[in-house]
Amino acid sequence: MSPFIFMPCECGKSIHIYIPKEKFFKEEIEVSGWQVEYSEKVRGEKFEESKRFAEKLNAEFVDAKSLEQVTCSNCGRVYSVSDLKQGTQEG
């Protein structure tokens, strides 16, 4: 499953960020034909579920599939996607 990062911005806005697992882990993930079909279906369902969850919480949902930076829509602060990954490995 692809990672979703739930991050509070310094301004108080909650940002939910989707990062495809291939981008997050920076590697190609090989799967067989049936796994691709199943994986795409599950990925789509989880993606839509996460969007609805962010909406319920009045949070900003960002699809970082093709982004290197995420910008808060409330205050304009810019976060690097690679920095977000490092933050998940601390602690």
Predicted pLDDT of residue 91: 38
pTM value is 0.66
> Per the structure block, which two tokens stand in for 1?
């499953």
Predicted pLDDT of residue 41: 77
- 14-26 pLDDT tens trace: 999 988 777 776 6
* Residue bearing the bigger pLDDT, 42 or 84: 42
Distance CA 77, CA 38 (A): 37
In the chain, DSSP assigns E strands to 4-8, 14-18, 60-63, 69-71, 78-80
∠ CA(70), CA(28), CA(38), 5° rounding?
A: 90
